[in-house]
Amino acid sequence: MPNQTPTSLLSLTVAPTKVLRGFQALAQAGDAIASLGRRPLIVGGDRTLAVTLPQLQPVLEQQKLHFAQADYTPDCSEASLASMRQAVTSHQADLIIGVGGGKALDAAKLLAYQCRLPVVTVPTSAATCAAWSALSNIYSDIGAFLYDVSLSGCPDLLVLDYSLIQTAPPRTLVAGIGDALAKWYEASVSSGNSEQTLIIAAVQQARILRDILFQKSAAALQEPGSTVWQEVVDATVLLAGVIGGLGGAQCRTVAAHAVHNGLTHLPDSHDALHGEKVAYGILVQLRLEEILLGNQLAATARQQLLKFYAEIGLPLSLDDLHLGNITLVELRTAAELACATNSDIHRLPFRVVPEQLMAAMVSTRVPLDLKSGSTAENQKLSVRTDETHKH
Ligand SMILES: [Zn+2]
Protein backbone atom coordinates (compact mmCIF):
# COMPACT_ATOMS: atom_id res chain seq x y z
CA MET A 1 0.00 0.00 0.00
CA PRO A 2 1.39 3.44 -0.85
CA ASN A 3 1.98 5.67 2.10
CA GLN A 4 -1.00 7.94 2.58
CA THR A 5 -0.87 10.72 5.11
CA PRO A 6 -4.32 11.77 6.22
CA THR A 7 -5.16 15.24 4.96
CA SER A 8 -7.39 17.59 6.87
CA LEU A 9 -10.61 18.68 5.25
CA LEU A 10 -10.17 21.69 2.97
CA SER A 11 -12.96 24.24 2.96
CA LEU A 12 -12.57 26.85 0.22
CA THR A 13 -14.54 29.99 -0.50
CA VAL A 14 -12.93 31.03 -3.76
CA ALA A 15 -15.19 33.59 -5.37
CA PRO A 16 -18.55 35.36 -5.36
CA THR A 17 -21.29 33.32 -7.02
CA LYS A 18 -21.62 36.01 -9.66
CA VAL A 19 -19.69 39.13 -10.65
CA LEU A 20 -21.23 41.90 -12.79
CA ARG A 21 -18.65 44.36 -13.98
CA GLY A 22 -18.74 47.37 -16.27
CA PHE A 23 -19.76 50.99 -16.62
CA GLN A 24 -23.34 51.42 -15.33
CA ALA A 25 -23.22 47.83 -14.04
CA LEU A 26 -25.50 48.73 -11.12
CA ALA A 27 -28.27 49.91 -13.46
CA GLN A 28 -28.17 46.49 -15.12
CA ALA A 29 -28.06 44.46 -11.91
CA GLY A 30 -31.80 44.51 -11.13
CA ASP A 31 -32.62 40.95 -12.17
CA ALA A 32 -29.58 39.50 -10.42
CA ILE A 33 -30.42 41.36 -7.19
CA ALA A 34 -34.12 40.45 -7.34
CA SER A 35 -33.24 36.76 -7.74
CA LEU A 36 -31.69 36.86 -4.25
CA GLY A 37 -34.46 38.49 -2.21
CA ARG A 38 -37.50 40.77 -2.11
CA ARG A 39 -36.80 42.84 1.01
CA PRO A 40 -33.23 44.10 0.88
CA LEU A 41 -31.58 46.02 3.71
CA ILE A 42 -29.03 48.43 2.28
CA VAL A 43 -25.94 48.81 4.49
CA GLY A 44 -23.62 51.77 3.98
CA GLY A 45 -22.35 55.03 5.41
CA ASP A 46 -24.19 58.34 5.19
CA ARG A 47 -22.05 59.76 2.43
CA THR A 48 -21.91 56.73 0.14
CA LEU A 49 -25.63 56.11 0.52
CA ALA A 50 -26.35 59.71 -0.46
CA VAL A 51 -24.23 59.29 -3.60
CA THR A 52 -25.35 55.77 -4.53
CA LEU A 53 -29.02 55.68 -3.59
CA PRO A 54 -30.19 57.83 -6.55
CA GLN A 55 -28.81 55.07 -8.79
CA LEU A 56 -29.75 52.06 -6.68
CA GLN A 57 -33.30 53.14 -5.82
CA PRO A 58 -34.75 53.04 -9.38
CA VAL A 59 -33.15 49.62 -9.91
CA LEU A 60 -34.84 48.24 -6.80
CA GLU A 61 -38.15 49.98 -7.50
CA GLN A 62 -38.28 48.62 -11.02
CA GLN A 63 -38.03 45.14 -9.51
CA LYS A 64 -40.71 46.08 -6.92
CA LEU A 65 -38.34 45.33 -4.03
CA HIS A 66 -39.15 46.76 -0.58
CA PHE A 67 -35.92 48.15 0.78
CA ALA A 68 -34.74 49.85 3.94
CA GLN A 69 -31.40 51.40 4.92
CA ALA A 70 -29.04 50.83 7.83
CA ASP A 71 -26.00 52.91 8.70
CA TYR A 72 -22.90 50.93 9.77
CA THR A 73 -21.22 53.93 11.39
CA PRO A 74 -19.31 54.69 13.58
CA ASP A 75 -17.42 51.61 12.37
CA CYS A 76 -17.68 47.93 11.46
CA SER A 77 -17.96 47.22 15.19
CA GLU A 78 -19.88 44.83 17.44
CA ALA A 79 -22.21 47.65 18.53
CA SER A 80 -23.00 48.64 14.93
CA LEU A 81 -23.66 45.02 14.03
CA ALA A 82 -26.05 44.63 16.95
CA SER A 83 -28.10 47.64 15.84
CA MET A 84 -28.06 46.46 12.21
CA ARG A 85 -29.35 43.04 13.29
CA GLN A 86 -32.33 44.87 14.81
CA ALA A 87 -32.84 46.65 11.50
CA VAL A 88 -32.87 43.26 9.74
CA THR A 89 -35.56 42.05 12.13
CA SER A 90 -37.73 45.16 11.98
CA HIS A 91 -37.58 45.31 8.17
CA GLN A 92 -37.92 41.53 7.88
CA ALA A 93 -35.05 41.70 5.44
CA ASP A 94 -34.28 38.66 3.29
CA LEU A 95 -31.22 40.15 1.56
CA ILE A 96 -28.34 42.47 2.52
CA ILE A 97 -26.87 44.92 0.01
CA GLY A 98 -23.55 46.46 1.09
CA VAL A 99 -22.62 49.75 -0.56
CA GLY A 100 -19.37 51.60 0.08
CA GLY A 101 -15.73 51.04 0.99
CA GLY A 102 -14.10 48.15 2.80
CA LYS A 103 -15.67 48.74 6.19
CA ALA A 104 -19.22 49.13 4.86
CA LEU A 105 -18.82 45.94 2.83
CA ASP A 106 -17.26 44.05 5.75
CA ALA A 107 -20.20 45.13 7.91
CA ALA A 108 -22.74 44.04 5.28
CA LYS A 109 -21.05 40.65 4.77
CA LEU A 110 -20.80 39.90 8.47
CA LEU A 111 -24.39 41.01 9.07
CA ALA A 112 -25.58 38.68 6.29
CA TYR A 113 -23.50 35.83 7.73
CA GLN A 114 -24.90 36.37 11.23
CA CYS A 115 -28.49 36.52 9.94
CA ARG A 116 -27.94 33.72 7.37
CA LEU A 117 -29.02 35.94 4.49
CA PRO A 118 -27.59 36.35 0.98
CA VAL A 119 -25.43 39.42 0.37
CA VAL A 120 -24.68 41.71 -2.58
CA THR A 121 -21.57 43.92 -2.49
CA VAL A 122 -21.38 47.18 -4.41
CA PRO A 123 -17.94 48.73 -3.90
CA THR A 124 -17.82 52.51 -4.34
CA SER A 125 -14.03 52.60 -4.45
CA ALA A 126 -11.19 50.29 -5.46
CA ALA A 127 -9.46 50.69 -2.10
CA THR A 128 -9.63 47.01 -1.02
CA CYS A 129 -10.84 43.59 -2.16
CA ALA A 130 -13.51 43.51 0.57
CA ALA A 131 -16.24 43.27 -2.10
CA TRP A 132 -14.87 39.82 -2.98
CA SER A 133 -13.52 38.19 0.14
CA ALA A 134 -15.09 35.80 2.66
CA LEU A 135 -13.59 37.73 5.56
CA SER A 136 -14.67 40.68 7.70
CA ASN A 137 -12.51 42.81 9.98
CA ILE A 138 -14.03 43.98 13.25
CA TYR A 139 -12.96 47.30 14.74
CA SER A 140 -13.79 49.14 17.95
CA ASP A 141 -16.24 52.04 17.73
CA ILE A 142 -13.22 54.34 17.42
CA GLY A 143 -11.58 52.36 14.64
CA ALA A 144 -9.00 50.18 16.41
CA PHE A 145 -8.62 46.78 14.73
CA LEU A 146 -9.85 43.99 17.01
CA TYR A 147 -10.12 40.70 15.07
CA ASP A 148 -11.26 39.18 11.80
CA VAL A 149 -14.06 36.73 11.13
CA SER A 150 -13.98 34.03 8.43
CA LEU A 151 -17.34 33.94 6.70
CA SER A 152 -19.11 30.88 5.30
CA GLY A 153 -18.76 32.14 1.74
CA CYS A 154 -17.92 34.95 -0.63
CA PRO A 155 -20.78 37.33 -1.54
CA ASP A 156 -23.64 35.99 -3.66
CA LEU A 157 -23.28 38.89 -6.09
CA LEU A 158 -20.55 41.50 -6.62
CA VAL A 159 -21.48 44.53 -8.72
CA LEU A 160 -18.31 46.31 -9.82
CA ASP A 161 -19.62 49.48 -11.44
CA TYR A 162 -16.74 51.47 -12.94
CA SER A 163 -18.95 54.58 -13.06
CA LEU A 164 -19.29 54.50 -9.26
CA ILE A 165 -15.60 53.72 -8.70
CA GLN A 166 -14.67 56.62 -10.93
CA THR A 167 -16.42 59.08 -8.61
CA ALA A 168 -14.24 58.02 -5.65
CA PRO A 169 -11.20 60.16 -4.74
CA PRO A 170 -8.12 58.95 -6.74
CA ARG A 171 -6.38 58.35 -3.42
CA THR A 172 -8.66 55.35 -2.80
CA LEU A 173 -7.28 53.56 -5.88
CA VAL A 174 -3.74 54.35 -4.72
CA ALA A 175 -4.59 52.73 -1.39
CA GLY A 176 -6.11 49.74 -3.20
CA ILE A 177 -2.85 49.32 -5.09
CA GLY A 178 -0.97 49.28 -1.76
CA ASP A 179 -3.31 46.68 -0.26
CA ALA A 180 -3.11 44.50 -3.39
CA LEU A 181 0.70 44.68 -3.54
CA ALA A 182 0.80 43.21 -0.04
CA LYS A 183 -0.64 39.95 -1.42
CA TRP A 184 2.74 39.11 -2.97
CA TYR A 185 4.97 40.30 -0.15
CA GLU A 186 2.88 38.48 2.44
CA ALA A 187 1.86 35.34 0.51
CA SER A 188 5.41 34.69 -0.68
CA VAL A 189 6.58 34.77 2.94
CA SER A 190 3.76 32.73 4.46
CA SER A 191 3.36 30.24 1.61
CA GLY A 192 6.25 30.69 -0.84
CA ASN A 193 7.64 27.23 -0.07
CA SER A 194 4.33 25.41 -0.21
CA GLU A 195 4.10 22.21 -2.28
CA GLN A 196 0.32 22.47 -2.53
CA THR A 197 -1.08 23.08 -5.99
CA LEU A 198 -3.65 25.71 -5.06
CA ILE A 199 -1.27 27.59 -2.77
CA ILE A 200 1.44 27.65 -5.45
CA ALA A 201 -1.17 29.00 -7.86
CA ALA A 202 -2.25 31.69 -5.38
CA VAL A 203 1.33 32.83 -4.74
CA GLN A 204 2.06 33.00 -8.47
CA GLN A 205 -1.12 35.00 -9.06
CA ALA A 206 0.08 37.39 -6.36
CA ARG A 207 3.34 37.87 -8.29
CA ILE A 208 1.39 38.53 -11.49
CA LEU A 209 -0.81 41.00 -9.62
CA ARG A 210 2.29 42.83 -8.36
CA ASP A 211 3.74 43.02 -11.87
CA ILE A 212 0.49 44.34 -13.36
CA LEU A 213 0.43 47.03 -10.68
CA PHE A 214 4.08 47.97 -11.27
CA GLN A 215 3.44 48.28 -14.99
CA LYS A 216 0.05 49.98 -15.13
CA SER A 217 -0.60 51.97 -11.94
CA ALA A 218 1.02 55.25 -12.94
CA ALA A 219 -0.81 55.36 -16.29
CA ALA A 220 -4.10 54.31 -14.67
CA LEU A 221 -3.95 57.11 -12.12
CA GLN A 222 -3.31 59.65 -14.84
CA GLU A 223 -6.43 58.66 -16.76
CA PRO A 224 -9.37 57.57 -14.60
CA GLY A 225 -11.95 55.68 -16.64
CA SER A 226 -9.47 54.61 -19.32
CA THR A 227 -8.85 51.00 -20.30
CA VAL A 228 -5.64 50.85 -18.28
CA TRP A 229 -7.49 52.32 -15.28
CA GLN A 230 -10.15 49.59 -15.59
CA GLU A 231 -7.40 46.95 -15.63
CA VAL A 232 -5.89 48.32 -12.42
CA VAL A 233 -9.32 48.47 -10.76
CA ASP A 234 -9.86 44.83 -11.77
CA ALA A 235 -6.47 44.02 -10.26
CA THR A 236 -7.17 45.62 -6.88
CA VAL A 237 -10.79 44.51 -6.47
CA LEU A 238 -11.02 41.23 -8.41
CA LEU A 239 -7.59 39.62 -8.81
CA ALA A 240 -6.60 40.46 -5.23
CA GLY A 241 -9.82 38.73 -4.21
CA VAL A 242 -9.06 35.66 -6.33
CA ILE A 243 -5.71 35.25 -4.56
CA GLY A 244 -7.29 35.39 -1.12
CA GLY A 245 -9.94 32.91 -2.24
CA LEU A 246 -7.55 30.46 -3.87
CA GLY A 247 -4.96 30.64 -1.12
CA GLY A 248 -7.54 30.26 1.63
CA ALA A 249 -6.64 30.22 5.27
CA GLN A 250 -3.04 29.17 4.59
CA CYS A 251 -2.26 32.15 2.39
CA ARG A 252 -2.68 34.63 5.19
CA THR A 253 -1.38 38.09 5.88
CA VAL A 254 1.97 38.51 7.60
CA ALA A 255 3.80 41.56 8.94
CA ALA A 256 2.43 44.24 6.59
CA HIS A 257 -1.13 43.79 7.88
CA ALA A 258 0.07 43.21 11.45
CA VAL A 259 1.75 46.63 11.34
CA HIS A 260 -1.48 48.10 9.96
CA ASN A 261 -3.45 46.49 12.77
CA GLY A 262 -1.08 47.90 15.39
CA LEU A 263 -1.23 51.39 13.89
CA THR A 264 -5.05 51.48 13.99
CA HIS A 265 -4.82 51.70 17.79
CA LEU A 266 -3.18 55.14 17.51
CA PRO A 267 -5.90 57.83 17.40
CA ASP A 268 -3.98 59.81 14.78
CA SER A 269 -3.79 56.88 12.38
CA HIS A 270 -7.29 57.31 10.99
CA ASP A 271 -6.32 59.97 8.45
CA ALA A 272 -4.58 57.23 6.48
CA LEU A 273 -6.54 54.63 4.53
CA HIS A 274 -6.22 50.87 5.16
CA GLY A 275 -4.14 50.29 2.02
CA GLU A 276 -1.85 53.23 2.80
CA LYS A 277 -0.98 51.79 6.21
CA VAL A 278 -0.58 48.32 4.69
CA ALA A 279 1.75 49.68 1.97
CA TYR A 280 3.92 51.23 4.66
CA GLY A 281 3.69 47.88 6.48
CA ILE A 282 5.23 46.13 3.46
CA LEU A 283 8.29 48.38 3.77
CA VAL A 284 8.47 47.55 7.49
CA GLN A 285 8.25 43.83 6.75
CA LEU A 286 11.11 44.08 4.24
CA ARG A 287 13.14 46.11 6.77
CA LEU A 288 12.67 43.31 9.32
CA GLU A 289 14.04 40.81 6.82
CA GLU A 290 16.99 43.11 6.18
CA ILE A 291 17.74 43.81 9.83
CA LEU A 292 17.14 40.35 11.27
CA LEU A 293 18.24 38.12 8.38
CA GLY A 294 20.61 40.42 6.52
CA ASN A 295 18.44 39.67 3.50
CA GLN A 296 19.85 41.66 0.59
CA LEU A 297 16.96 40.76 -1.70
CA ALA A 298 14.58 42.33 0.79
CA ALA A 299 16.74 45.46 0.76
CA THR A 300 16.58 45.79 -3.01
CA ALA A 301 12.87 44.96 -3.08
CA ARG A 302 12.35 47.80 -0.60
CA GLN A 303 14.30 50.23 -2.80
CA GLN A 304 12.17 49.19 -5.77
CA LEU A 305 9.00 49.84 -3.76
CA LEU A 306 10.21 53.21 -2.45
CA LYS A 307 10.65 54.37 -6.03
CA PHE A 308 7.23 53.04 -7.04
CA TYR A 309 5.50 54.49 -3.98
CA ALA A 310 7.00 57.92 -4.63
CA GLU A 311 5.74 57.76 -8.21
CA ILE A 312 2.11 56.97 -7.35
CA GLY A 313 1.76 58.61 -3.93
CA LEU A 314 1.92 55.76 -1.41
CA PRO A 315 3.53 56.54 1.98
CA LEU A 316 7.23 55.86 2.43
CA SER A 317 7.36 56.50 6.17
CA LEU A 318 5.44 57.30 9.34
CA ASP A 319 5.74 60.98 8.37
CA ASP A 320 3.85 60.32 5.16
CA LEU A 321 1.08 58.65 7.21
CA HIS A 322 0.92 61.86 9.29
CA LEU A 323 2.30 59.91 12.22
CA GLY A 324 5.65 61.70 12.32
CA ASN A 325 4.83 63.29 15.67
CA ILE A 326 3.84 60.22 17.64
CA THR A 327 5.69 59.58 20.91
CA LEU A 328 7.99 56.65 21.62
CA VAL A 329 5.28 55.33 23.93
CA GLU A 330 2.78 55.35 21.06
CA LEU A 331 5.28 53.72 18.72
CA ARG A 332 5.85 51.02 21.32
CA THR A 333 2.09 50.55 21.76
CA ALA A 334 1.62 49.97 18.04
CA ALA A 335 4.64 47.63 17.92
CA GLU A 336 3.50 45.62 20.94
CA LEU A 337 0.02 45.19 19.46
CA ALA A 338 1.55 44.11 16.15
CA CYS A 339 3.67 41.55 18.05
CA ALA A 340 0.81 40.15 20.18
CA THR A 341 0.85 36.35 20.51
CA ASN A 342 -1.92 35.77 17.95
CA SER A 343 -0.58 38.32 15.44
CA ASP A 344 0.13 37.29 11.85
CA ILE A 345 3.59 38.87 12.23
CA HIS A 346 4.64 35.52 13.71
CA ARG A 347 4.19 33.91 10.30
CA LEU A 348 7.58 35.40 9.50
CA PRO A 349 10.21 32.66 9.51
CA PHE A 350 12.00 34.33 12.43
CA ARG A 351 11.07 35.75 15.81
CA VAL A 352 10.26 39.46 16.11
CA VAL A 353 10.11 41.41 19.36
CA PRO A 354 8.63 44.94 19.69
CA GLU A 355 12.04 46.66 19.95
CA GLN A 356 13.09 45.21 16.60
CA LEU A 357 9.78 46.15 15.04
CA MET A 358 10.13 49.72 16.33
CA ALA A 359 13.57 49.94 14.70
CA ALA A 360 12.10 48.75 11.41
CA MET A 361 9.15 51.14 11.64
CA VAL A 362 11.35 54.23 11.87
CA SER A 363 13.81 53.19 9.16
CA THR A 364 11.68 52.36 6.11
CA ARG A 365 13.45 54.99 3.99
CA VAL A 366 17.01 54.12 4.88
CA PRO A 367 19.16 53.88 1.71
CA LEU A 368 20.84 50.69 0.56
CA ASP A 369 24.11 49.91 2.28
CA LEU A 370 26.70 51.64 0.10
CA LYS A 371 29.00 48.65 0.49
CA SER A 372 26.52 46.51 -1.39
CA GLY A 373 27.84 47.77 -4.69
CA SER A 374 27.50 50.13 -7.59
CA THR A 375 24.23 51.24 -9.09
CA ALA A 376 24.67 48.80 -11.97
CA GLU A 377 25.08 45.92 -9.57
CA ASN A 378 22.03 47.02 -7.64
CA GLN A 379 20.00 47.04 -10.83
CA LYS A 380 21.10 43.51 -11.58
CA LEU A 381 20.11 42.52 -8.07
CA SER A 382 16.72 44.12 -8.38
CA VAL A 383 16.00 42.12 -11.54
CA ARG A 384 16.90 39.00 -9.60
CA THR A 385 14.61 40.15 -6.83
CA ASP A 386 11.75 40.18 -9.29
CA GLU A 387 12.38 36.60 -10.15
CA THR A 388 13.32 35.14 -6.83
CA HIS A 389 12.02 37.20 -3.97
CA LYS A 390 10.66 34.19 -2.16
CA HIS A 391 11.51 33.00 1.30
ZN1 LIG B 1 -5.80 44.59 3.49
70 alpha carbon – ligand 1 mean position (Å): 24
pLDDT confidence of residue 389: 47
Span 164-177, pLDDT tens digits: 999 999 999 999 99
253 alpha carbon – ligand 1 mean position (Å): 8
Give 96's strand partners. 41, 119
The dihedral formed by the CA atoms of 123, 128, 134 and 137, expressed in degrees to the nearest 10: -110
pLDDT confidence of residue 387: 44
257 alpha carbon – ligand 1 mean position (Å): 6
Residue 246: name the closest of 313, 174, 283, 197 by CA.
Answer: 197
Q: In whole angstroms, what is the distance from residue 106 CA to residue 3 CA?
A: 43
pLDDT confidence of residue 4: 60
294 alpha carbon – ligand 1 mean position (Å): 27
278 alpha carbon – ligand 1 mean position (Å): 7
63 alpha carbon – ligand 1 mean position (Å): 35
pLDDT confidence of residue 5: 61
Predicted TM-score (pTM) of the model is 0.91
Mind listing the pLDDT tens digit of every residue in the chain (391 residues)?
555 666 778 888 999 999 999 999 999 999 999 999 999 999 998 888 988 999 999 999 999 999 999 999 999 999 999 999 999 999 999 999 999 999 999 999 999 999 999 999 999 999 999 999 999 999 999 999 999 999 999 999 999 999 999 999 999 999 999 999 999 999 999 999 999 999 999 999 999 999 999 999 999 999 999 999 999 999 999 999 999 999 987 778 999 999 999 999 999 898 999 999 999 999 999 999 999 999 999 999 999 999 999 999 999 999 999 999 999 999 999 999 999 999 999 999 999 999 999 999 999 999 986 555 434 444 444 444 444 444 4
274 alpha carbon – ligand 1 mean position (Å): 7
Question: Can you say how many angstroms the Cα of residue 182 is from the centroid of all Cα atoms in its chain?
Answer: 8
pLDDT confidence of residue 136: 95
Residue 143 burial (C-beta neighbours within 10 Å; 0-12, 13-18, 19+)? middle
31 alpha carbon – ligand 1 mean position (Å): 31
Give 120's strand partners. 97, 157
Q: What is the 3-class SS of the chain, one letter each residue?
A: CCCCCCCCCCCCCCCCCCEEEECCCHHHCHHHHHCCCCCEEEEECHHHHHHHHHHHHHHHHHCCCCCEEEECCCCCCHHHHHHHHHHHHHHCCCEEEEEECHHHHHHHHHHHHHCCCCEEEEECCCCCCCCCCCEEEEECCCCCEEEEEECCCCCCEEEEEHHHHHCCCHHHHHHHHHHHHHHHHHHHHHHCCCCCHHHHHHHHHHHHHHHHHHHHHHHHHHCCCCHHHHHHHHHHHHHHHHHHHHHHHHCCCCHHHHHHHHHCCCHHHHHCCHHHHHHHHHHHHHHHHHHHHCCHHHHHHHHHHHHHHHHHCCCCCCHHHCCCCCCHHHHHHHHHHHCCCCCHHHHCCCCCCHHHHHHHHCCCCCCCCHHHCCHHHHHHHHHHHHHHCCC
12 alpha carbon – ligand 1 mean position (Å): 19
Which strands make up the sheet holding 68-71, listed edge to edge?
Answer: 19-22, 157-161, 119-123, 95-100, 40-44, 68-71
111 alpha carbon – ligand 1 mean position (Å): 20
177 alpha carbon – ligand 1 mean position (Å): 10
pLDDT confidence of residue 251: 73
pLDDT confidence of residue 373: 43
209 alpha carbon – ligand 1 mean position (Å): 14
137 alpha carbon – ligand 1 mean position (Å): 9
284 alpha carbon – ligand 1 mean position (Å): 15
Span 109-146, pLDDT tens digits: 999 999 999 999 999 999 999 999 999 999 999 999 99
28 alpha carbon – ligand 1 mean position (Å): 29
Residues with CB under 5 A from ligand 1 (ion): 179
258 alpha carbon – ligand 1 mean position (Å): 10
91 alpha carbon – ligand 1 mean position (Å): 32
118: left (phi over 0), alpha (psi -120 to 50) or beta: beta
What's the Cα-to-Cα distance from 85 to each of 71, 81, 107, 119, rounded to whole Å?
A: 11, 6, 11, 14
What's the Cα-to-Cα distance from 256 to each of 169, 253, 287, 338, rounded to whole Å?
A: 24, 7, 11, 10
89 alpha carbon – ligand 1 mean position (Å): 31
275 alpha carbon – ligand 1 mean position (Å): 6
